A and B are shown apart, each in its own frame.
Chain A
Amino acid sequence: MAGTPHKPLRFPSNRENLIARAIAADEAGVSVGGLAAELGMLREAPGAEPRPPTSCGLDALARLVQFARRDHALAPDQFASRFGLDLRELVDLESARNVPEPRVLHQLSVALKVSYEKLLVLAGHRVHRDETLEREALRFAASSRPMDKLSKSESQALHDFIRALHD
């Protein structure tokens, strides 16, 4: 018990049966996640089938957020603060690191005045075959290099893509 020193564990003289069971056991996985959950090390619902994003959906989302932020001339923390996102969520979005949670996408849809449903599709939360959206996302994802200020063509690409994301 806490507050008293641990006593050495006691073992029976013969553990052969238990060792045999241990060796026979299927140990394909034995990991326990209580501590990992408490420390925030479970990044996504374990075991849940990862939702396949559209072929370039996450990249397009990342680019969309990067462009929109630059279009507003806001630093990452300012953009996150203005639109109700955590800075970490914004950084993850811009780097296409994880599939963003629906709540984050909802905040984004409000911020950019675009369709929440289409953002869900882009992130892979909704399976919905939309060839036009896929084509626009691909074109947009491939449209720019990171720069401080949007070029004229980037600005055009951003506004075209936002138009494609409207309901």
Chain B
Amino acid sequence: MSTHATKLKHVATGKLVDAELHDSLSLDDLLDAEALWAPAKIQIARELLNRSVPRSEWPQSLHWNWAEKAITLKPYAPGPFSAYRLFGLRAEERWQGLLLGCCVGHPTRLAPVGRDLVYVEFVETAPWNWQPSGIGQGPLFKGTGLQLVELAVRWSEDLDFRGRVGLHSLPQADSFYRGACGMSDLGPDPKYRQLRYFELDESHARTFLEEN
């Protein structure tokens, strides 16, 4: 595993804080993050319920429980020789966000069609970095999401996939992938419960990494 120094913004103070990008984590790290994140998710759920926030406004990944899915996650286990690779961003000795990428089985849908890409299976930020509506919680840190996507783009480059990345976004994240990440929106995918499929092509990957 290697790490790379980076920064996040501590929202309350407005200051930049030191953080680390990690590029080869294990399934245990995902479960460690879940152990840390679950109580914070429960607290958010409690607040949402107490304040009668409509269910449609709840964070759409609030009910995910990776520990419960540990056995079914085994085939997706990242490792040195796996097609899966788990990345993370850490600050203040806690995981602030994780991204699981896969480098096989998901050909490009944009031109050039049928090429390899890095498919993002999963992205999640720590619950204290969410901004759930209706309970007055702001994020603790900002800057996690885009830097996680950057890791997927850089892995794609390392694999000679030229930065091509694809993913299925949850609806609350569509604008992030369409706007901040500059990915193309290819619409709802019936094979993925109508989640919208987004793809970053080679040209936009260069723009993303600001290498033009």
Contacts and interface: CB of A to CB of B under 8 A. Distances in A.
Contact of A30 (B21, B24, B148, B210): B148
B170 A31 contact: yes
Contacts of A15: 6
A21 interface: yes
Contact of A32 (B9, B69, B122): B122
A2 B121 contact: no
A36 interface: yes
A27 B176 contact: yes
A117 B144 CA distance: 47
B88 interface: no
Interface residues of A, number: 41
A25 interface: yes
Contact of B72 (A10, A31, A37, A39): A39
A39 B121 CA distance: 11
A34 B125 contact: no
A47 B59 CA distance: 10
A153 to B, nearest CB: 34
Contacts, number: 179
A138 to B, nearest CB: 21
Nearest to B104: A2
Contacts of A2: 81-83, 103-104
A22 B65 CA distance: 27
Contact of B139 (A11, A27, A34): A27
Q: Which of A6, A8, A18, A23 has the most CB of B within 10 A?
A: A6
Kindly name the residue among B6, B61, B193 whose own CB sees the greatest number of chain A CB atoms within 10 A.
Answer: B193
Nearest to B147: A22
B176 A30 contact: yes
B203 to A, nearest CB: 17
A22 B145 contact: yes
Interface string A96-122: 000000000000000000000000000
Closest 4 CB pairs of A and B: A47-B171, A29-B172, A30-B145, A8-B2
